[in-house]
Amino acid sequence: MMTMRAVVTERPGDYDVMRLRDVPVSALGDREVLVRTAASGVCYHDHLIRAGVMRRGITFPLILGHEGAGVVEAVGAYVRSLKPGDRVACTQWTEACGLCRFCRTNREPLCAERKFFGHDRDGTYAEFFKIQEDSLLSLPPEVGLEEGAILSCAIGTVLAALRDVGRTQPGECVLVTGAGGGLGVHAIQVAKLCGATVIAQTTSPAKVPVIREAGADEVVVAEDGRFADTVKGCAGGEGVDVVCDTVGAPVFQEALRSAGRGARYVLVGELTGDPVTFNTARLFLKGVSLLSTTSTSRVQLADVIRLVRQRRLRPMVTERFSLADAPRVHRLMVERKLAGRVVLVP
């Protein structure tokens, strides 16, 4: 039986529950594709699973990771669109039904039957990953494999948030929270692509250079967590038109205070799982819409690939680590010592 090296999370817990092991590569289903991993993105979602904050639908032991790209190693009997040797990137989900109203309208992440990669199914922290054919898209030669690994989550999620859900328009002002993280640096780029002015919020002065590199017009460093008044000042006193919140509960109150009349507040991340309370009058008296998005559809991933190929968006892979470094990478991520998106390379 074929085996591979993989980072196996044995149970919820601290960083040491992740162990590099030799594990068997299971047989391919008829519509599945085996991909030799070139790189796997590391997302805060992975930490939330490992730490036991996220529990629903998760069974341990588990191989984490929902961001990956590589080269097709083998295909199932009914696979027609891909062949061994093809360069591919994956969406964050697999096994969507293809028949429900969400699948029929290019909203596969909302399909009740879909499985989230590295959550409901083993993911990409491994030498190989196995996934349904319709969860993969081919990468053109202009897009590197390490770049390809982060396209769906780090870029596709914020493209969905700002372009499709938040409907960001030219001339509007966008606040990006957690702007130095993997979602944040790409949300800045997407907002600029939409023609917006971008105010970027961070708690880390060390991340300001990468935020500036991503294209932010204004950077608000709020080490004490308070930033609404400064953001409003940057936005001319009125507040912003769109909030792209990649952080969630820790910044929610201040981010909501930053929203102007008629603003769209789009949640795309939650770092703690903590509840928040607020007066709903703060929404309807200002006409603020509270929205959210989850992961990336095939159509959205195809758009990201096109935009990267055209050099209109730039994947920001800031550091590379080995699979054996996964526990250290999670620690650095939780301690907020990583900027942009980092990848694990087998």
Q: Are 269 and 178 in contact (CB under 8 A)?
A: yes
Q: Per-residue pLDDT tens for 270-315?
A: 888 889 998 898 899 999 999 999 889 999 999 999 999 999 999 9
Tell me the percentage of the chain whose pLDDT exceeds 70. 100
Report strand pairing: 62-63 vs 3-9. Answer: antiparallel
Q: Per-residue pLDDT tens for 147-164?
A: 999 999 999 999 999 999
Other beta carbons within 10 angstroms of residue 134's beta carbon come to 19
Nearest to 91 by CA among 9, 37, 149: 149
Largest Cα separation within the chain, whole Å, is: 65
| Partners of 243 in the β-ladder | 175, 265
Domains of the chain: 3-150+315-345 (3.90.180.10), 155-292 (3.90.180.10)
Nearest to 244 by CA among 199, 305, 297, 205: 199
Statement: the pTM of the whole predicted model exceeds 0.85: yes
Q: Are 139 and 74 in contact (CB under 8 A)?
A: no
Fill in the DSSP letter of residue 215. T
Q: Are 322 and 345 in contact (CB under 8 A)?
A: yes
Q: What is the mean pLDDT of residues 167-183?
A: 97
Phi, psi at 301, each rounded to 5°: -65, -40
Q: What is the mean pLDDT of residues 25-50?
A: 96
